[in-house]
Structure 1
Amino acid sequence: MATLTDTLLDPILSTDPAGPRITWYDDATGARIELSAITLANWAAKTANMIRDEFGVLPGGRVAVLLPAHWQSAAVLLGAWWAGAEVVLEADPDADLALVTPDRLDDVDSVAEVAALSLDAFGAPVKDLPPGVTDYATHVRMHGDQFRSSGAGDAALDGRSASELVAAARDSAVSAGISGTDRVLSSREWTTPDDLVDGLLSVLAVGASLVQVGNPDPSIVERRVASEKITARLT
């Protein structure tokens, strides 16, 4: 069974591998990171290799992802799905692995394996992690940037299969008026499964390009629309 990541990325990698796929801004710090489909796939592959080889998560395993809307979160999600895992967006004591920001560590203290992300724009590690918690930025770099999936479990997100999620994402894109030629501006969070479908998967499912803004500054929206050649917005 094809994984959700294969379904989302394969068409983009075959048609527009080098074009911008996710451009991420943090208006609080001025940071800007842009990833092509190839670069996004490489980060997802490193994450998938880490999830499988370092943490032993097999297809059908459960991975809790407690992260904000961010380019590294996209890599984590795509990596988890590539490894065949089911993603849950909440603290789940039955999860095989949790990937979280440092302020959420107490929420996952009963999960067997935990990796923390600083979400630093330059990939800095998390300082002073407690024993037993893995630093994502340090460890993910040690893994290969190519991945061959062993298949997918029955569910990819919140009990929904990959095919159900792709269908929902394409429907969401139609409702939002997004096509494969669009450059989409969004500051939506990815807190719930529906948020994730509407804010990330809808863009990837139709081959569009996402400009994701954290801590948005309303005073520079129109300037960004012009500079990034925005053609659609998720409001």
Structure 2
Amino acid sequence: MNAIDRTPADLLRSALAADPGRPLVTFYDDATGERVELSVATFANWVAKTANLLQGDLGAGPGDRVSVLLPAHWQTAVWLLACSSVGVVADVGGDPGVADVVVSGPESLEAARACGGERVALALRPLGGRFPQTPDGFVDYAVEVPGQGDRFVPFSPVDPGEPALVVGGREFTGAEVVERALAEGGVEAGGRVLSGLPYDTWEGLSVGLFGPLVSGGSVVLCRNPGQVSEESLAKRVESERVTVSRL
């Protein structure tokens, strides 16, 4: 983290400048056997493409609200940083009926239809795969995002003092996200935290994304960890060189 880092998007830019090749997010889905590892550079590229989709194709800008109806997943982490890059409010689990844009996984599509604005569906399939058939009333993220630009520049400067995140019923500015994550410490530089916590609480986001990002560490993000044995998780801790576990 640099002294000029005021938003989560700033943290990602600093991480990219410092060491683009280091792992940032390693994702396991223990229901499907999926494992994905994203370096800082790869993650930042996904964020740039998603931010371009959000700002350009979906027409979102500072002050707009994005309802994020997604589980703890590497693509959810991408969306949260893309929202920070554009300056929109990421409302985790928020009411899609009052949102300008909704981003939904396959299990929340019916609820997401309450959004009167743009609707984006994520299949959350291995390797970022698309839906076999795009849900009615939605655009398929996996179809739309690959063609987006690899560099992102916001149309308007992002104000770190403006609302950026709503989680667990509490609203945070971009600066507050950074300050709180820094105060809680995350992990040591180069450390790896294994997290099975959901993303619908501050604790889950802090442990599973913002803490590692602010401290120069990385996260091993586990979805459905209850579907594997304790022995398998112990082997994962060893093989991934995990320094802190939060399940």
TM-score (norm 2): 0.88
Question: What is the SS of the residue equivalent to 1:229?
Answer: coil
- Superposed, which structure 2 residues align to 1:13-32 within 5 Å? 13-32=16-35
1:33 matched to 2:45? The reply is no
1:8 matched to 2:20? The reply is no
2:237 paired residue among 210, 220, 225: 225
Cα shift readout 1:158-198 (whole Å, capped 9, x = no counterpart): 23111111111112225xxx212211111111013443233
5+ long unaligned stretches in structure 1: none
1:134 matched to 2:139? The reply is yes
1:123 matched to 2:128? The reply is yes
1:191 matched to 2:200? The reply is yes
1:167 paired residue among 175, 179, 183: 179
Shift of 1:3: 6.8
Cα shift readout 1:86-118 (whole Å, capped 9, x = no counterpart): 110122322110101122112122211110001
Q: RMSD of aligned C-alpha atoms? A: 1.8
- Superposed, which structure 2 residues align to 1:82-121 within 5 Å? 82-89=85-92, 90-111=94-115, 112-121=117-126
Where do 4+ consecutive residues of structure 1 move more than 4 Å?
none
Output the CA distance in 2 between the equivalents of 1:213 and 1:148.
32
What letter matches 1:115 in structure 2? V
What letter matches 1:152 in structure 2? V
* Greater mean deviation of Cα atoms: 200-209 or 37-46: 200-209
C-alpha contact (below 8 Å) 1:123/1:137 kept by paired residues = yes
How many matched pairs?
232
5+ long unaligned stretches in structure 2: none
1:71 matched to 2:70? The reply is no
Identical-pair percentage: 37
Output the CA distance in 2 between the equivalents of 1:166 and 1:33.
26
Question: What is the SS of the residue equivalent to 2:79?
Answer: helix
